[in-house]
Amino acid sequence: MPEQMAFARKASGLVRGLSFVDAFGVGFMNQGLTPSMWVMISLGLGVYTGGNLIIATLLSALLCGIGFSLVWGILGGSMPRSGGEYIYNSRIIHPLIGIAESFGNAFVWIMWIYILAPWTVDPGLTMLFQFLGRPDISETLTSTVNTPLGPFYLWFFVIATLVNFIAFLFVVFGLKIFARVQKVIMVLGIAGCAVILLVFTFTTHNAFIEAWNNLAAQYGSLDYNSFLASARSAIEGAGDVLPKTWNWYDTLGVMVAGSWLFAYSYCITFIAGEVKRPDKTIILANLSAILIPAAFMLWLAIVLYRTVGFEFLSATAWVDNSGTALAGYTLPWAPNFVGLAAVINHNWFVVFMMAMSFIVFNLWWVALSYLAFPRILFAWGMDRMGPKWFADIDYRWASPVKNHILCFVLGEIGILLYTIFQNQMSGLSVTGLEIVSVFGVTAVAAVIFPFSKKAKNIWDSSPYKKWNILGIPLVTIGGVVNLIYLAILFYFFIVMPDLEGLAIGSLLFYVLIWAIGVGWYFYWKKRNKDVGVDVSMTFGELPPD
């Protein structure tokens, strides 16, 4: 049988029309600048209260800048096909590993939809209306109605569904429209984040205390010192201590939550078959999409410590993350870092810009799931590892429309379940899944890429074949650095205080997803064999461009 007949199509049908700016935008927007800062501070410091944001940012930027840029940049540039790490792992390691791992990642992208679309409502929109002095609207968004099955968050579900549908529309009509809208969303998101940073930059420590105390007096809330004392007491009541200075253990722990800001530019590789000059674009876009968020986070960390104070920042993070109703705290919004900026400046336009930044980054996160999930399925379809329609392309828009529709339906089911159960920690569970499955397996593939007999033809034609230090291939070095970073994340995810049950449950869930993926592989391998197609032929070469 001719080799090209082993693939589902003789050509992908996808168009290489994305520029460096477009590819960078995909990676940068998937780092979710403002909401990821919130996660790093409120979740990171909220759990590891002795963490140092400056050091955690520098370490993350160094390890990801080397590890993630080299791993995903070199693999993506060597195998420039849309579909992400499934292409690399199936060619370098084994198709069984490629499918099982990719099956898990497909679930990850659906999980991001049902976590992040609701986040656009709460804390996104609820925070906005609290800042604008309309707590009644915020309460309506998160209120329940009685149904025969029990209380249901009606408006929460309706708006999250609308967010899901808007994200679907941004992507389903092709990457040309997607790229145009992305530029607008990116500018708005960065502008709002810059407003937050400027508010802290031009506020002294004494001015912040004065602003906090004035607002506290207005609402009959705790002043600066009283809040700190009350939070310290609450933390001690929970069996912990609020540290007065940083330590290394907690600083490394903060990096788990900080990974949202540094480890997700890899999204670029899902559209590698649609990028111009992938050999240069993918690696440079990955690196830029790591360093620029790092610069923003470093700026934020410096001005927060100067303006708010180390101990007070950790205390507010703990209160925001724990959901503890701190006795005497009656300010109309949560004390997250955006809320702290709103304490300083209440101008309606300023607070609108700050909350809007959080909202639009969340919205685009959902849109990026519609970029990745359909292309994972498309890559399976090209290798005959799924139904034939997985590889269908609508030629009007050069888009896998049927896969987009499936993504929307699955995402909507997830939103419904999230609305019912309201598990705010689901995002951390997804992070654990990606550390173990997606990032870890692909880092191993990068380490062995130059030495894999299966991928010898691909490595020999790679534009990075001669990239080495002291005779060691740069992609191998990148993979090792990446594994060091992932080991830090995995350890502190597993030992995260009070979340042991989540970690164990997440690991069991990962095993289940992989088991389903293994079953999927053997089913489609047998089905193809029954009709006379040897799919093993497809995994020694790259799919058609």
Domains and CATH numbers, the chain: 3-540 (1.20.1740.10)
- Predicted pLDDT at 294: 97
- Predicted pLDDT at 4: 46
Higher pLDDT residue, 237 or 298?
298
Nearest to 174 by CA among 408, 393, 407: 393
Average pLDDT over every residue of 457-478: 95
Q: Given pLDDT bands bounded at 50, 70 and 90, which one contains residue 1?
A: very low
Average pLDDT over every residue of 1-11: 60
Is 7's pLDDT higher than 90? no
pLDDT digits (tens, 9 = 90+) for 27-58: 999 999 999 999 999 999 999 999 999 999 99
pLDDT digits (tens, 9 = 90+) for 415-444: 988 887 765 445 556 666 678 788 999 999
Average pLDDT over every residue of 359-374: 95
- Fill in the amino acid letter for 459: W
Nearest to 447 by CA among 435, 459, 457: 459
Average pLDDT over every residue of 377-397: 90
Is 301's pLDDT higher than 60? yes
Q: Given pLDDT bands bounded at 50, 70 and 90, which one contains residue 500?
A: low
Q: Given pLDDT bands bounded at 50, 70 and 90, which one contains residue 508?
A: confident
- Predicted pLDDT at 539: 81
Q: Given pLDDT bands bounded at 50, 70 and 90, which one contains residue 244?
A: very high
Higher pLDDT residue, 303 or 399?
303
Q: Given pLDDT bands bounded at 50, 70 and 90, which one contains residue 2?
A: very low
d(CA 310, CA 430): 29
d(CA 212, CA 342): 10
pLDDT digits (tens, 9 = 90+) for 261-285: 999 999 999 999 899 999 999 999 9
Is 501's pLDDT higher than 70? no
Is 390's pLDDT higher than 50? yes
231 Cβ contact list (under 8 Å, min separation 6): 242, 315, 316, 318, 319, 326
Assigned token pair, 158: 């309706």
- Predicted pLDDT at 417: 84
Average pLDDT over every residue of 127-138: 92
- Fill in the amino acid letter for 153: Y
pLDDT digits (tens, 9 = 90+) for 151-174: 778 888 999 999 999 999 999 998
What mean pLDDT is reported for the chain? 90
pTM (2 decimals)?
A: 0.92
Cis previous bond, 123, omega within 30: yes
Is 84's pLDDT higher than 60? yes
